Amino acid sequence: MRDLYPGYDVLSKRGTPSWNEQTRRVIDRRLAIDPDAHRFFTDEEWTTLRALCECVIPQPAGRARPVPVAAMVDQKMVKNERDGYRHAELPPMQQAWRRALVAIDAEARAGHARPFHELAATQQRELVDDMQRGMLHNGAWGTCRRASSSNIASSTTL
């Protein structure tokens, strides 16, 4: 994935006036989440979610403490925390995430005979791009057929 802001790392702003104490506490709390812990997703879903998060929300190379994006999504699902809106054609959030992860894996297996997490980064990116363009049609999507990577990424706000 192309780096839109080469060399920029928002976490390097921690000690500057850009962040106040409340921001530091919130970010510190989020960074303290165990990146390997999951309680909501099955092991198979978890593996797909981690690969998807790495594809959609890449971390700067060499970051000492990567943002635990997948673990943050998992916590949100455990707590059933919503963003205050839901696309009418989608099922409830927890069900939508589960269905989307199964469907992404099904698309990877159908197109490449391997699960999503085993695909090369370019193949993962192509699959995500096709998802965003609405070009995936595996029956596993059900009513999540219109899911897009932007919908997925919006639920993982730092």
Task: Tell me whether residue 116 is in a domain.
Answer: yes
Query: What's residue 42's pLDDT?
Result: 97
Q: Bigger pLDDT: 153 or 143?
A: 143
Total of domains in the chain: 1
Q: What is the mean pLDDT of residues 110-116?
A: 96
Task: Tell me whether residue 3 is in a domain.
Answer: no
Task: Tell me whether residue 5 is in a domain.
Answer: no
Is the pLDDT reported for residue 24 higher than 80? yes
- Any idea what DSSP says for residue 88? T
Is the pLDDT reported for residue 147 higher than 50? no
**How many C-alpha atoms does 12 have within 13 Å on its Cβ side?**
6
Domain hosting 23: range is 10-154
Query: What's residue 1's pLDDT?
Result: 57
Helix (H, G, I), strand (E, B) or coil at 28: helix
Task: Tell me whether residue 26 is in a domain.
Answer: yes
Under 8 Å between Cβ of 105 and 51 = no
Task: Tell me whether residue 141 is in a domain.
Answer: yes
User: CA-to-CA distance for 55 and 75, rounded, in angstroms?
Assistant: 20
Q: What is the mean pLDDT of residues 81-98?
A: 86
Is the pLDDT reported for residue 155 higher than 60? no
pLDDT digits (tens, 9 = 90+) for 68-88: 999 999 999 999 988 877 788
Cβ burial, residue 157 (10 Å; 0-12/13-18/19+): exposed
pTM for the structure as a whole: 0.83
Task: Tell me whether residue 137 is in a domain.
Answer: yes
pLDDT digits (tens, 9 = 90+) for 30-71: 999 999 999 999 999 999 999 999 999 888 777 778 899 999
Q: Which residues of 27-47 are buried (b: 16+ CB within 10 A; e: fewer)?
A: beebbebeeeebebbeeebbb
Q: What is the mean pLDDT of residues 108-115?
A: 96
Q: Which residues of 127-148 are buried (b: 16+ CB within 10 A; e: fewer)?
A: bbeebbeeebebebbeebbebe
